Amino acid sequence: MTETAPSAAAETARGRNPLAFLDAEIEDFKAKGLYRRLRVVEGEQKSRCIVDGREVITLSSNNYLGLNTHPRLRSAAEAALRELGAGSGAVRTIAGTMRIHEELERRLADFKHVEAVLTFQSGFTCNTGVIPILAGESAVIVSDALNHASIIDGIRLTKAERRIFPHADMEALRSALRDVRAAPGGAERTVLVITDGVFSMDGDIARLPEIVAAAEEAEAIVYVDDAHASGVLGRNGRGSVDHFDLHGRVQVQVGTLSKAIGVLGGYVAGPASLREVLIHRARPFLFSTSHPPAVAAACLAAIDVLESEPQLIERLWENTRYFKAGLAGLGFETGASETPITPVIVGSGARAMKLSDGLFEEGVFAQGIGFPTVPEDRSRVRTIVTAEHTRAELDACLAAFETVGRALAII
């Protein structure tokens, strides 16, 4: 059989890279000063750790209470690993529901003062799994403009009408709810009001009492994502609903197991009927393997720690107040933060990355954040203090911020 030479068109097609647009995007990141490579942590995630081969004080961890290395969590995880194995083997609806998963959900329901809890693989999958269930095609979702990306993606997965109100603007929220109910057929529509409990980039707390009052007047469902309030706000870290004493008035709470709890996963807390429907319909729950038993065991131990060691949360808030006062005294802009999340707002994304890099050279790991996570002119270095930071470490961080801030003419 005689071989024929490839045509000129075939040769051209063979030489074309269909993914060349990715290289162009990377070059665009670099041109704008936004290109970042992943920092690599060696060893334990503590207030001091080894990042990219050097010891630094970290201000970029969500490990608010230091629970990821707490002896009680280590022991619980090790015991579950030996007794129950490394993995669960299946999704929850087939053979992946272990007794320890249901024990964790019962403990969380009791901890949150709700009828029932369902755990998910992450807080992100909670929002993408639950919001589409609650908001059918005829529903209306009213959402704060600064809600987390997982809420935004959860909303995108619905066919519901969307109304986004300016951040923390209660009059805009009430106006949107009045408009929905006053429109033809509005009285019968399901309305879902969604807010973060603590906003992850700015560190401010949702005006939850006003949100709940507005929603009750409009007969709307209140949905609170408490990722950064879990373990931080409320009695023993029960979250923003407990912080404002709104039990029984917030229908849906999303919590995290991977920040202050120190392990992995998320959960939805609410009525038992919600849990039952989610088991049958929530796609991330239906199509993802359940948590390894060691994860569930460590989460159970974390609840024990929250209930028996309140001094960890007290120390977190002492450190928060001290560090915020230090940044303010140096003249940095920290926005409306009320929590351990304290942004240092500097303007452009390139400037935020320079501040972050300069801090790293001074022995402080605090990640820069720019567009599209935050508006370009509100780019920042986001800091999070923890209960583990010593006063000496916080002083060293403040000294580094002063040195680099002055060098970059930020202060």
- Residues classed as catalytic: 200, 228, 259
Tell me phi and psi for residue 141, to 5 degrees. -110, 130
17-51 as b/e: b if 16+ CB within 10 A: eeeeeeeeeeeeeeeebbeeeeeebeeebbbbbeb
Structure-token pair, residue 79? 């015991």
Q: Which residues pair with 290 in a beta bridge?
A: none
- Helix ranges restricted to H, 204-250: 208-217, 240-243
Contacts of 399 (CB under 8 A, 6+ apart): 362
**Other beta carbons less than 10 A from residue 348's beta carbon:** 17
Q: Are 212 and 184 in contact (CB under 8 A)?
A: no
Peptide bond just before 372 cis, omega within 30 deg: yes
DSSP structure class, residue 186: G
Distance CA 71, CA 302 (A): 10
Q: Are 364 and 396 in contact (CB under 8 A)?
A: yes
Q: Are 144 and 152 in contact (CB under 8 A)?
A: no
Distance CA 393, CA 388 (A): 10
Amino acid at 9: A
Residue 369 in 3-state DSSP? strand
Phi-psi category of residue 140: left, alpha or beta, with phi > 0 → left and psi -120 to 50 → alpha:
beta
CA distances to 174, 180, 187 from 215, in Å: 8, 12, 13
